[in-house]
């Protein structure tokens, strides 16, 4: 583990670098009574450990997002499952493919593709579009 105060630049004031388990984290200063100051080594270590934990849980957060979107899409067509409604075959197939999502897309790269959005914030993967 290494702790190093970085040279100040116009963009980075009061930055430190901390290397934890081979990963280097660059972290900005902290405010102490309204004054920006450099983190000490124990503060930098605590922040680096927190960022490492956050990064390691990335796949779980993405999977939770996928499951939440899937739930919303399924709930939007639940009315079609009523006994007084004949669900079209293409909707049945689409709903089944939504239910199969987590099993069929198991890597974080695939999660990224499912969660991709356009410049307007709309999901771009075809799986989310109701036929």
pLDDT tens for 92-112 read 999 999 999 877 777 788 899
Contact 29, 39 (CB under 8 A): yes
Residue in 23, 13, 31 with CA at minimum distance from that of residue 49: 23
* pTM of this structure: 0.71
Q: What 3-state class would DSSP assign to 80?
A: helix
Q: What 3-state class would DSSP assign to 129?
A: coil
Q: Which residue has the higher pLDDT, 79 or 10?
A: 79
């Amino acid at each position: 583990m290494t702790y190093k105060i970085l040279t100040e630049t116009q963009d980075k004031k009061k930055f430190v670098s901390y290397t934890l388990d081979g990963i280097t984290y660059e972290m900005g200063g902290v405010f102490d009574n309204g004054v920006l100051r450099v983190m000490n080594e124990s503060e930098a270590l605590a922040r680096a450990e927190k960022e490492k934990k956050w990064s390691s849980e990335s796949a779980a957060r993405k999977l939770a997002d996928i499951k939440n979107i899937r739930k919303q899409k399924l709930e939007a067509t639940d009315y079609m499952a009523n006994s007084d409604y004949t669900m079209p075959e293409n909707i049945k197939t689409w709903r089944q493919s939504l239910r199969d999502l987590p099993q069929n897309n198991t890597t974080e790269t695939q999660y990224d593709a499912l969660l991709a959005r356009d410049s307007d914030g709309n999901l771009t993967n075809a799986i989310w579009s109701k036929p």
